Structure 1
């Protein structure tokens, strides 16, 4: 699975989505009364333990000035990661797996909105329509007769995930993704440790297992994204990541005995179908531009 063709990139991203869902599963298995900050701290520790040996190899082969650039950005992303980890754990502790994941998949909508606000990216009528339908989808999925911490956390997680994704654009291109991910996690350690200490929960050895497994799955997902988006335009393959929602429905039903109601299915369609439409528009635009470029090249050659 090289990721050099559209089909192989899609396969890699589907596999990555499966690992992302497994990450959520292991966090949810920690139970509704989990020590949230302790679990988040253990996840950061395991992420650092796995990534640091790889980062050291990258560091040895890297120009030392290159290795030190973008530290402020990594610091911000590290602390955003801690916030996202806390929100993820709270939402999974109280919401069904499929419901939580359906809300998480609104992150691309927030990416569009935050991109328009911070980067002055222009929003088309199609993007605005996708955003409105996505928010309607959230209301259908959650049907908030009462506002719970799980609902708020799921939506805020999607927002923080979108913000962190937008910051990826500013990561120095000279640094590898795994090196940057390691530095980000190292910056996350102090705040995660401080929150765990402030929480004051008794040490739970079971959390070590859930933290280790979820960390491995999280890194596997990051590697899948690195391979899947490296050679192929994102608009051509990004829809493959929505397979994670199917995994969430199936695993939630099989593992946790959760049966999503009809509203979750309908709300998910309101979220995903407009985003698939935008992706399809991008693919057609790229093909049209490529066709015009080839036509100009043929005319020049003639």
Structure 2
């Protein structure tokens, strides 16, 4: 699928959401007693090994001068990736696959709030309302009678993910995204490797397998985002990514025997529905702007 039409872009993003859920599945399958830092380091290593030949092939067609652009941002994002990867393992070790993913989908809410704080983006009543409903949804999903490490890790993961996503806006536009992902993972290696050495855990073969599989799925998700958002306005297709919650429900039930309760569905609705509304509102705005532009063009031609 080329991603040049809305329907093909949606299909690519749905496929990407499936790979993202598979990535979480393999991480959860590694077990709650997995050596977290070793696992994180191996994931970074495999992502570098997989991306290296792809980037080397693609880089022949790009200006070599772009190679050293944005290194400071890649360094920051690489180290933030390590933090996010650790939080992801901690949250999936304690929470069910569907519950964790439902909390992860609050990341767009944090993106909007942090965007208003760091980039002075306009914070509308709709955005504030979506944020309030999203946080209510978190409470309904988690129903915290006591604060657990898994709950805190899931929320912090969404915040770190949102912050890392906002930093993408500052990356050089002329730089290939896959090259940027490769450099980011390279910068993640020293911190992840140092933490793994400090952890001192014995090497486990199953950790090697699950880290490799989760890395492949993570890269496939990144590629799907590159294709899905490349030619089509993000507001027209971003809702397709919420299909990942359906995959999380199904895989969690099929693989781990997790039965989602009514609270999880209600909480997910509170999180997803406002975001779908904002996306729909953005689509209407773009259509009006396009209609106005076409009208002006026709008048000018006449």
Fold agreement, TM-score > 0.5 = yes
Q: How much has 1:286 moved relative to structure 2? A: 0.2
Q: How much has 1:109 moved relative to structure 2? A: 0.2
Structure 2 residue 228 is matched with structure 1 residue 228: yes
Aligned to 1:155: 155
SS of corresponding position for 1:145: coil
CA separation in 1, counterparts of 2:63 and 2:288? 40
**CA deviation string 1:155-179 (max 9, x = no partner):** 0000000011111111111111110
Aligned to 1:83: 83
CA separation in 2, counterparts of 1:130 and 1:142? 18
The count of residues paired between Structure 1 and Structure 2 equals 302
Aligned to 1:279: 279
Q: How much has 1:59 moved relative to structure 2? A: 3.4
Moved over 6 A (4+): none
**CA deviation string 1:11-67 (max 9, x = no partner):** 000000000000000000001111111110000000000011122233343323211
Structure 1: unaligned runs, 5 residues or longer: none
| TM-score, normalising length: structure 2 | 0.99
Q: How does 1:1-302 map to 2 (within 5 A)?
A: 1-302=1-302
CA separation in 2, counterparts of 1:21 and 1:91? 14
- RMSD (CA atoms): 0.7
**CA deviation string 1:184-231 (max 9, x = no partner):** 000000000001111111111110000000000000000000000000
SS of corresponding position for 2:230: coil
CA separation in 2, counterparts of 1:104 and 1:243? 13
CA separation in 2, counterparts of 1:59 and 1:176? 8
CA separation in 2, counterparts of 1:71 and 1:60? 20
SS of corresponding position for 1:178: helix
Structure 2: unaligned runs, 5 residues or longer: none
CA separation in 1, counterparts of 2:4 and 2:55? 25
